[in-house]
Amino acid sequence: MTQLILKPGRERSLLRHHPWIFEGAVERLVGRAKSGDTVEVLGADGRALGKAAWSPKSSIRARMWSFNPNEIIDDAFFKRRVAAALARRTVLPELQGQQGLRLVHAESDGLPGVICDRYGDILVLAFSSAGAEKWRQAITAALLKGTGCTRCYERSDADLRSLEGLAPRCGWLQGEADGGMPTIDEHGISMEVDVVAGHKTGFYLDQRDNRLLVRRLAAGRRVLNCFCYTGGFSLQALAGGAAQVLSLDSSAPALATARRNLALNPQLDAGRAEWREADVFEEQRKLFAAGARFDLIVLDPPKFAPSPAHAESAARAYKDINLQAFKLLAPGGLLMTFSCSGGVGSELFQKIVAGAALDAGASTHMQARIVRRLGPAADHPVLLDFPEGDYLKGLVCMVD
């Protein structure tokens, strides 16, 4: 088998079980490898470190499949990895019976470049690395068999694929949508999931627990949901008895789905909901100028910093929306604010939010306190050896 020899000292991160081998760590290949081929990884001293998938176009030149040098990477290997990922979802009680569930969370489930979300009896798969692409059929078969699902849609259209030299690919791998899109039940609320045209695999499952928290905090409050997508937080706020919910998003199709979602839940008081197609950066200023104030604001923006290189411009954007949000809060109000940028760590995020609160309170002497720290739901595990997987962080802040 082709061998990947590392430069001296570059075995260190692998010994800590970090799964990425960067371009600059590779001394040479002994033998040939095509995109996605399995290579044996060796330290400069010849020590065998495991098996990886070769990706000649990416700056992440190889991703580790296994740190066991004797592991054979074949169909049976992927069956075992998929079975382990499925088993992990059966342990925590809050995941049991969920109709929408992330079954495979890439590196953190030992399957770099593989995402699998389940919506009812439909699996949505996304392959974003050269190795995942090579083994997609084996992985798909293992997931269909392991779950008993009969329908499976591929959404391999993330920008990441181009970095790996892969073209986008979307379509039904098995079965197809029978008429409409699937709906899932989340905390008693029906949500339509557009697996074909929605963002990512159609739904942001990582925010499941935080949407329940909004429901618990919403009673009697005037709620502003910024970056509402298909209305997940908005509908939970209504279910929790919010006085009113104003939801903002720049995507007309997402808002159309949000409206359909509200209609799917006739138990909610639609008269309390307003959807507005708007740019959050502009609309927050307009709302402030118009004197609008809120008791609970949710800020769940898209990824402003895909990598640490974007951290600075992302920090400015986070600061701006958080600053405007603090200004829009009524006394005693709550801000639930998130960052899903891998390139912005939780310490930096907290600093940005603190700066925003300080500036917002400059004239009023308002102060804000963290009352909760938030992260993704348990079906989005974070491998301790892979801090890059720790992308979603959130704070609930209470103002004076």
* Selected range binding ligand SAH among 80-88, 91-99, 230-238, 386-394, rule: CB under 6 A: 230-238
CB of 85 to ligand SAH, least distance (A): 23
Residue of 41, 146, 14 whose CA lies nearest to 84: 146
CB of 24 to ligand SAH, least distance (A): 33
Q: How far apart are CA 152 and CA 125, in angstroms?
A: 7
CB of 50 to ligand SAH, least distance (A): 35
For residues 235 and 261, the answer to whether their CB atoms sit within 8 Å is: yes
Among 135, 227, 318, 349, interactor with ligand SAH by CB under 6 A? 227
The reply to whether 183 sits near ligand SAH by the rule CB under 6 A is no
Print the binding letters for residues 275-294 with ligand SAH: x by CB under 6 A, - otherwise. ----xxx-------------
Q: Break the chain down into helix, strand, coil percent, rounded to 5.
A: 35, 30, 40
Nearest residue (CB) to ligand SAH, 33 versus 328: 328
CB of 171 to ligand SAH, least distance (A): 23
Does 340 participate in catalysis according to the annotation? yes
Chain centre distance of CA 123: 17
Q: Which long-range contacts (CB under 8 A, 24 or more apart) does 308-317 make?
A: 308/343, 309/343, 310/341, 310/343, 311/341, 311/343, 311/344, 311/348, 314/341, 314/343, 314/344, 315/344, 315/348, 315/352, 317/281
Burial class (CB in 10 A: 0-12, 13-18, 19+), 128: buried
Among 232, 342, 343, 381, interactor with ligand SAH by CB under 6 A? 232
The reply to whether 119 sits near ligand SAH by the rule CB under 6 A is no
For residue 371, the SS3 value is strand
Residue of 320, 347, 325 whose CA lies nearest to 397: 325
Q: How far apart are CA 272 and CA 248, in angstroms?
A: 14
Could you give the C-alpha distances from 48 to 3, 71, 334, in angstroms and in order? 10, 12, 52
* Selected range binding ligand SAH among 134-142, 274-282, 349-357, 361-369, rule: CB under 6 A: 274-282
Output the DSSP codes for 151-189.
Answer: EEEEEE--THHHHTT---EEEEEES---SS--EEEETTE
Among 9, 241, 302, 332, interactor with ligand SAH by CB under 6 A? 302
CB of 364 to ligand SAH, least distance (A): 26
Nearest residue (CB) to ligand SAH, 228 versus 360: 228
Active-site residue (options: 149, 228, 340, 397): 340
Among 20, 54, 153, 204, interactor with ligand SAH by CB under 6 A? 204
CB of 287 to ligand SAH, least distance (A): 13
For residue 120, the SS3 value is coil
Nearest residue (CB) to ligand SAH, 258 versus 368: 258
For residues 230 and 258, the answer to whether their CB atoms sit within 8 Å is: yes
For residues 296 and 221, the answer to whether their CB atoms sit within 8 Å is: yes
According to CB under 6 A, which residues from 235 to 254 bind ligand SAH? 248-251, 254
The reply to whether 304 sits near ligand SAH by the rule CB under 6 A is no
The reply to whether 318 sits near ligand SAH by the rule CB under 6 A is no
Q: How far apart are CA 63 and CA 21, in angstroms?
A: 6
Nearest residue (CB) to ligand SAH, 142 versus 334: 334
CB of 255 to ligand SAH, least distance (A): 9
Q: Which residues bind ligand SAH (CB under 6 A)?
A: 204, 207, 227-230, 232-233, 248-251, 254, 279-281, 300-302
- Annotated catalytic residues are 340
